[in-house]
Amino acid sequence: MKFRYVLLACSLKNYTLYVERHECGHCMAVNTTMCSGMCFTQDTNVRGFVGKRFLIQRGCMHRSVVYHSAKMPGCPVHIDPLFFYPVARRCHCTKCNTTRNECVYKPKHTPSKCSEHLNVVPSENVFLLCLGNLQF
């Protein structure tokens, strides 16, 4: 019988965050980083106080995060085009703190939030992809 070892890897992963402002008529994709990967987890079938001691549930969370800014192109003068998005810097396995983090399962395949083809738009701080005017 062969045994295979699984590497539990909680690390930074490139992620595309879709941002849409109806007032600006654009959908924009921002490339950022997030924490993703497997962490040691243990479940138990023992109930009560004793069972809770054997329950270990950890998720891959950011240890350090910074916020970058970007401008949504095409916004009217009265709309602030500036928005902020998170960029994970370091990751680790820990219990999810639901007061600070949104702990959700992300499916492997998610549809694009922008329904039309994206065009490249250069930016000072980040590489942005921008969609032309949307029809609402």
Domain parsing of the chain, residue ranges:
10-130
Q: pTM of the entire structure?
A: 0.63
pLDDT at position 61: 86
Chain mean position to CA 47: 34
* Integer Cα distance of 60 and 8 in angstroms: 10
CA distance 23 to 8: 43
pLDDT in tens, 64-76: 999 999 988 888 9
How far is Cα 77 from Cα 100, in angstroms, rounded to an integer? 34
Q: Is the pLDDT of residue 131 over 80?
A: no
Separation CA 53–CA 44 (nearest Å): 9
Residue 98's Cβ-side half-sphere holds a number of Cα atoms within 13 Å equal to 2
pLDDT in tens, 79-108: 898 989 999 999 999 887 777 766 666 666
Q: Domain 10-130 belongs to what topology?
A: Cystine Knot Cytokines, subunit B (2.10.90)
What is the predicted pLDDT for the residue at 127?
35
